[in-house]
Structure 1
Amino acid sequence: MEKQAMKAVTWRLMPFLVLLYLVAYVDRSNVGFAKLTLQHELGLSNAAFTLGQVAFFVAYAVFEIPSNIYLERFGARRWFTRIMLSWGLVTILTAAVSTTWQFYLARFLLGLAEAGFYPGVLYFLTKWYPYRYRARMVGWFMMSQPLAFILGNPYMGALGGLHGTLGLDGWQWIFIATGAPAVVLAFVTLRLLPDGPEGVRWLSTEERGWIAAELAAEADAMGATHGSPLRALRDRRVVALALYFLCFPLGCYGLSFWLPTIVDGFGGLSTTATGFITAIPYVFVAIGLYVVPKLADRGGSRYPWLAGCAALGAAGLAGSALVGNHVVQVALMSLAAVGLYAGQPVLWTLPSRFLTGIQAASGIAMINAVGNLGGGFGPMGIGVITDRTGSAVTGLWFLVAAMAVATVATFGIRRLIEGGGTTASAPRDPSPERTPA
């Protein structure tokens, strides 16, 4: 029964969710390629341009928690449809910006529109999968990120070469062609996505009953409480995880935002060639996202995997900043990217050790909201250093420091979560002692 239920859920949900987040991540990261020409047209410094990233993530952070609360109220199908339709339209309209403030406004509105999608899916998965499956499923979901770069970077590099086609610049084509799929998929989502296991026709009554029984047993095992969504926001474990998680998006977005600029600095490359080279690290990220969560689920303790991934990220970034050989630089940045991305699915299993229901929705949203501020400050920190030193590679040291802090902080996170927070007693692992199917 377990194998049948999990196989049916995985094949029905995960490919579609991966597709949706792939489109979202392309829409979020397309500005890195548009930067190569848009920055010159608007006359922005590196630090000023990255303020657009800060505007995106500030809006994203502010509206994350309300979005996840509304997700619980309106259901995943309708709420995800609203999110996708709005972010697709905003991305398309970004092609019309002509001033600095219009650019900042467009990035802010994109953050507002997309807020809640990623943490919403993380919460959505807790309604379908027992704890022992979640690292792997979040890993599968996050596979969208490397796929977005593997497929999207060459695509956006080619779009950047359409300068003058139909009277539009290449950066305008990037925004139009990456925003349109989200609008189309919004209507597909409204048609196909279920709100939860209850009543879906592709699960038998017995399979739905097994999922409900497993999730109820886990909630009982960890002594879950229900109540106001604001209660989770006061839990020191939630606050600590939010600050800890901040280091990972800071590294991920700092690297992805500046990678096209770093590779472009190799010299003599077309935009299409730059797109293919910048996709290389994300091939290794895809492998890491498959292997690391799977091993973490089977190994029991998640914390050694978290510390190891953070350390790998720091070491790879440091090495790429020190060497001068371009091939070695790309190889080291590939290792760093594996550490930056592969640790995140493991991290996202931790909130469900002590949060359920509406408190899980708000707690996950807060962790993601605060953590994703690093997505704005990572690129901005590199931008400030780049403006002062003239080298984007030098700015990587800012990311090295963040991942070194995360490596050390992992052990404090372990003591805090395993010792209990302010709102509940020490949780015990809700997973039954058996090998995952």
Structure 2
Amino acid sequence: MDIFNKQESNVKSYCNSFPVLFTAAKGCWLKTDNGDRYIDFLAGAGSLNYGHNNAILKKALIDYIDKDGITHGLDMHTEAKAAFLTALRNHIFEPRNLDYKVQFTGPTGTNAVEAAMKLARKVTGRTNIVTFTNGFHGCTMGALAATGNQHHRGGSGMPLAGTSRLPYEGYAGVDGLALLETMLNDNSSGLDKPAAVLLEVVQGEGGLNVASDAWLQKLCKICKAHGILTIVDDIQAGCGRTGTFFSFEPSGIKPDMITLSKSIGGYGLPMAVVLLKPELDKWSPGEHNGTFRGNNHAFITATSAIETYWQNDDFENHIADRSQQVKKTIDRVLKRFPSLFVRTKGRGMMQGIECQRPEFASSITRHCFENGMVIETAGPNDEVVKFFSPLTISESELEQGLHIFEKAAEHVATVSTRKAS
């Protein structure tokens, strides 16, 4: 392990919580160099919705590599890209009555967010972007300006500009949309008319805060009335994580732009896109580019994931069943240990439980790891234990992980009670 301590930057973080050497992974399981197994309730922070080394996706990728398929294509036309665009249109857009063009950005989510913000400014001629409390959109400068977390913002080294922040639904009891509407209608509010509003439907890193359907519908109505674009950041909440392919589907809204990354590549391979309504496609050739926007290996596994899991309702039904399984456990634990927990949070397979104190969440996740599970925290103070297993997890595997969590909560509650007495 010395090589990591001596050669790798201090910026590393996840390995601080899980200080072992992982050597292999399959499905929802991680294996270490000494043969220990850990059930994975982190799933690459949402990049592995279809599990580690998914057999179907792996075969498609190996077959493609074996025939010397294009690996790196910039933005040139390739067979792999055509297959992905066709699958996306036929199995995702058309069944949902959506009409979007696809922009391939650099392969990270933050690059997709940067592109969406740039395009909104270019199309509208305005510069301000409205974002929300507890939002997380990435760590490059534009996306960081839209991010609320002070820990990440503090790493910028310079002032962050170009955004205005408003309260997300449920934040401190403030009606953020009433405030937005009032400010837009008041020439003295000091709010520069925005080019766009950027939001997550479920705030992943911000603590699994969920926007209601009614709130989303009202937000879109306000934006439409004032000629403001809506951008949904579905990088972590998309690709089935909340129960439907897009997190916003239950609300019936149709955002002007959507950013996707993480599990859009299917296999954990880097890939990111912006989906934009056709009338917004005002880019000049090469105006926003990236050397690795043509990761054809990711196109192959992305296509395989869509064709395997999204041709009918079977996968959504599986996610719904597993989501209920998670909800049942955290509801029970919430009632068992009221001294530890405040409330349940999230939606679908993006659920969590808020702790009374951040140290409770830290102790629970540490105890989980000691007993064979990788699970992390979220929220402004890392106070939410976040359940984020692969969506393909079986009922019995999920039960194993949930049992480890419940035993950890029991342990922490016992220790806490002893200390209090």
TM-score (norm 2): 0.28
Larger strand proportion, structure 1 or 2? Answer: 2
Higher relative contact order (CA 8 A, sep 6+): 1
Larger helix proportion, structure 1 or 2? Answer: 1
TM-score (norm 1): 0.27
